[in-house]
Structure 1
């Protein structure tokens, strides 16, 4: 017999003994005449005898409760979970945030565990964070990296475990309309929306419409957009599923899809990509200090030689962006070019960025980059007389002048995408405003 079975058997025996003793005590408190009447009351019509003593039934019930209390141990108290919310302040570090709950050694272990997911040295002022404790002991740390992801670091028996997770939002899809009186921003505000939505619409149609010079009174826009909420509070816009802009009588439409590489694209109803393959320039520059030419006096070598690029004068540290979607094929340094990056694009195009001061974090060969993604910063490394970007392009292995290169549209929709596109087109065909019930989704969605 197991130990637990022996314990249960002992508890049952104690219960039986307790009941017997209670019954005996009850009968012993009765007078002889009362005892005789109880013994003779075998029939249903027997008349009970009144007594001022406690009845045996009550005593038996009391003993039963006591026995049950002995056999059923009290449940342990529920753990107390507390959540401490805050925002990153100027000069805050992992140590200043967590020293209330963790030792210096534990903070170091926690920070080391986050290196692959998200380094805590990159936390930014103003971003939300929270600390979760159980019975006063540290359980979890969370930091919102951006509006789509947060870092979660949990304390386990094996140590600290870190991972990046998608932020959950309640999504409501709505149709937004407006008519231009003076500008898209003004019309967006008049419709009750945030100016950020005007920027997003401007990005969609930026290759088709000059929103500074081309806008006219009575132009109009319509957008089917996801609005994101957390705890009932508006948290910004998600995907713009479809948009229309009527400019000077010309109608432009764009529908949201992702290409084979997972990048967001907007297409016309017949599958034409609204985006051009390349940006007009990879940075915000002060001036062009040297043009593309086959014969230029080199400022350092003092010899005439080809300059198969365009030099953009800009302050040291100016961000440099990828001109188009592609894959990194070179992140290196040479004596002449200094620090440089090369990107291979579709249709035989290649772009190069020379004389950089430093590369963007995480940049490496084989990584895919999207148009407008930060890749490096302007510098003056290599053969250079001052801060600038030497930007070069090739097509099918031959240098071309970036300022004169044709800028084709990005790849059109595939046959599979065209099937999905037909459903998207219907979003702008509805005459009445529609709104879905709130739907729980994770991050950006597909």
Structure 2
């Protein structure tokens, strides 16, 4: 008897150990559907960039109901592949996601703040991946519902509310400050200035007390502002002249333009300035004391001070006749234009990528960046224009409109212009004119952001 009890105790101990091992194994291999919500729903709880993760509102068929949902955000200096690695996604899933979404997403342009949401089945297989670049730009890779191991990639449609509003303001300082005071962002101010860039230089020709009005599309998603659309009409009342612009698309053209009250295109063949914002530090002169050489000599251009790296635009369409280093100008671009014109852009810090002699450039195309190369006392652009071999003061030159409406097109335009003019001239400073809902799969026409 004395020998039996130790054997019984030993057997019971063995059975108890086997039971503990089995229980532990079962706990570690429970179905993901029964694991804790904290572990199953997400691998990243917080989005440090403020870009909200995508909610999964998809109604899945029972057979593909997700068991795991992994959410994440692209961090600074990280690729989408690295972000999935950080979230410990299986290599086969990563390959499926990148291969599938690459049909609609350029992952070379991933930015910090982009977010993703990946749904997996019980076996860890991919069901669906959503990649969000902005509230308006969401892409989805989704398994076919027929059960085959195939996936479809597409850009999601987004429901937006478009509000057509009128904004008005008064200049007290700069145009950008005035737009900020009425609650508008700098993108709208830049677009407004760009419309009149051929007729009005907002750096030198504005005064405090000047007034402006703009009718523009504002887009909202779930009652949150997401960006500006097209400027429909604009007016600037300066101390010496009124400028008006109305968007109109002629029937035989795919894109619209801005026209003035007489039906002439607001844009001319040359911009007033190659820089959107600058400070005039030296005027056109036949006799100027050179700041470095300390001798009097002609200065057949204008010096426009701006921070190093500021984009420099071609003031007119043309061809590159010279790009490189030239004596006191340092890095310089020279463009040749129709009608016997040449423009010069000196003291650049660098040239635009791909710019070389002989290529054509568009008006407003970036050709270089402000610098202080060559004989220069500080960062600025030396801008010059030559007409038939003679240098002219860029700020005194007048250019004709690119086009003018006529006939039935002009009649149709005048009718539309009268409709918008009544709102522009209304005394209200902030008024909603129209509201409509739009379902989009790409950025709206005229999108400013």
Scaled by the length of structure 1, the TM-score of the pair is: 0.55
1:174 to 157, 164, 188: 164
Alignment partners' CA distance in 2, 1:186 and 1:303: 39
CA-CA distance at 1:238 after TM superposition: 0.7
- Contact kept? 1:296, 1:305, Cα under 8 Å: yes
Gapped regions of structure 2 (runs ≥ 5): 1-60, 144-150, 427-431
CA-CA distance at 1:224 after TM superposition: 3.5
> What's the counterpart of residue 63 of structure 2?
77
In structure 2, the residue corresponding to 1:253 is in which secondary structure? Answer: strand
- Contact kept? 1:171, 1:226, Cα under 8 Å: no
CA-CA distance at 1:269 after TM superposition: 2.7
Residues 136-180 of structure 1, C-alpha deviations (whole Å, 9 max, x = no match): 556657463x898x5969799xxx9999x7985625242426586
- Contact kept? 1:214, 1:247, Cα under 8 Å: no
> What's the counterpart of residue 443 of structure 2?
443
CA-CA distance at 1:360 after TM superposition: 3.4
In structure 2, the residue corresponding to 1:98 is in which secondary structure? Answer: helix
Gapped regions of structure 1 (runs ≥ 5): 1-74
Alignment partners' CA distance in 2, 1:280 and 1:243: 20
CA-CA distance at 1:234 after TM superposition: 2.2
- Contact kept? 1:357, 1:378, Cα under 8 Å: yes
The answer to which structure, 1 or 2, has the higher relative contact order (CA under 8 A, 6+ apart) is 2
Report the RMSD for the aligned CA atoms in angstroms.
Answer: 5.8
Q: CA separation of 1:278/1:161 partners in 2, compared to 1, >3 Å: closer, same or farther?
A: farther
In structure 1, the residue corresponding to 2:417 is in which secondary structure? Answer: helix
CA-CA distance at 1:319 after TM superposition: 1.4
- Contact kept? 2:75, 2:83, Cα under 8 Å: no
Alignment partners' CA distance in 1, 2:171 and 2:280: 35
- Contact kept? 1:278, 1:407, Cα under 8 Å: no
* Residues 1:352 and 2:344 aligned together: yes
Residues 11-48 of structure 1, C-alpha deviations (whole Å, 9 max, x = no match): xxxxxxxxxxxxxxxxxxxxxxxxxxxxxxxxxxxxxx
> What's the counterpart of residue 34 of structure 1?
none
CA-CA distance at 1:77 after TM superposition: 1.6
CA-CA distance at 1:347 after TM superposition: 4.7
Q: CA separation of 1:119/1:439 partners in 2, compared to 1, >3 Å: closer, same or farther?
A: closer
Q: CA separation of 1:235/1:81 partners in 2, compared to 1, >3 Å: closer, same or farther?
A: farther
- Contact kept? 2:207, 2:238, Cα under 8 Å: no
Alignment partners' CA distance in 1, 2:200 and 2:192: 12
- Contact kept? 2:331, 2:346, Cα under 8 Å: yes
Q: CA separation of 1:378/1:268 partners in 2, compared to 1, >3 Å: closer, same or farther?
A: closer
Alignment partners' CA distance in 1, 2:68 and 2:404: 50
Alignment partners' CA distance in 2, 1:414 and 1:91: 51
> What's the counterpart of residue 84 of structure 2?
98
> What's the counterpart of residue 320 of structure 2?
329
Alignment partners' CA distance in 2, 1:288 and 1:161: 58
Is the radius of gyration larger for structure 1 or structure 2?
1
2:419 to 427, 442, 446: 427
Residues 104-135 of structure 1, C-alpha deviations (whole Å, 9 max, x = no match): 9978x969x97x98573x6555x544355554
Map residues 342-381 of structure 1 onto 2, 5 A cutoff: 342-345=334-337, 347-361=339-353, 366=359, 368-371=361-364, 373-379=365-371
Scaled by the length of structure 2, the TM-score of the pair is: 0.55
Number of equivalenced pairs = 355
